[in-house]
Amino acid sequence: MTIQPVRLFGDPILRARAAEVTAFDRELQQLVSDLTDTMYDDGGVGMAAPQIGVGLRVFVYDTGDAKGHLINPEWQVDGDEEQVGPEGCLSIPGLRYDTRRALRVRATGVDMRGAPVEFAAEGLLARCVQHETDHLDGVLFIDRLDPAARKDAMRTIRESDWFVAGVTVRASRAVDGAGQAGPFGRNR
């Protein structure tokens, strides 16, 4: 078990597009393991490699109904229904805002050995796929908020006791004002 420090808002790696994975080796397997251990330690339902300082297109997830990892992910919206619900991020501790996402997506990519992976996702899993893929593109959930909510989020971040631009800080068991742990309000 190797738990890594979680990069917080203000760290430049969270705003950079992650590189495609081309080497399916022991280091990649260790990265998937480290991401998983760190996600569980911090009570999350998903975690992307940039959140632990690795600029590769890899994320892990465990929504309770589905768990795994996806490398070089892509997704397509499946239908035109949307969901609006609470979302947060281990890299922005304590913030949760209703965020609009597609209700259903079809995710594709590969696993840590390079084997193709494809699955349909709905609800929380669809939200997780979109959220974690955003991380790999340098996009944070607060970028998806309406202007008023984004302004409020930025004010809250600036006033938080954890925010120091560009500094790596351990985000241990992020808890919001309602006492909910993890990025989507799931307690572990």
Report, as residue numbers or ranges, the catalytic residues: 132
Instruction: In whole angstroms, give the CA distance from residue 166 to residue 184.
Output: 24
Report helix, strand or coil for 181: strand
Which ranges of 56-146 does DSSP label H, i.e. alpha helix? 124-136
The tokens describing 108, both together, are 């594709």
d(CA 75, CA 130): 8
Contact (CB, 8 A) for 105 and 126? yes
Cα–Cα distances (Å) from 76 to 18, 37, 138, 154, 172, in that order, read: 19, 28, 18, 29, 33
Tokens 């006033």 belong to which residue? 159
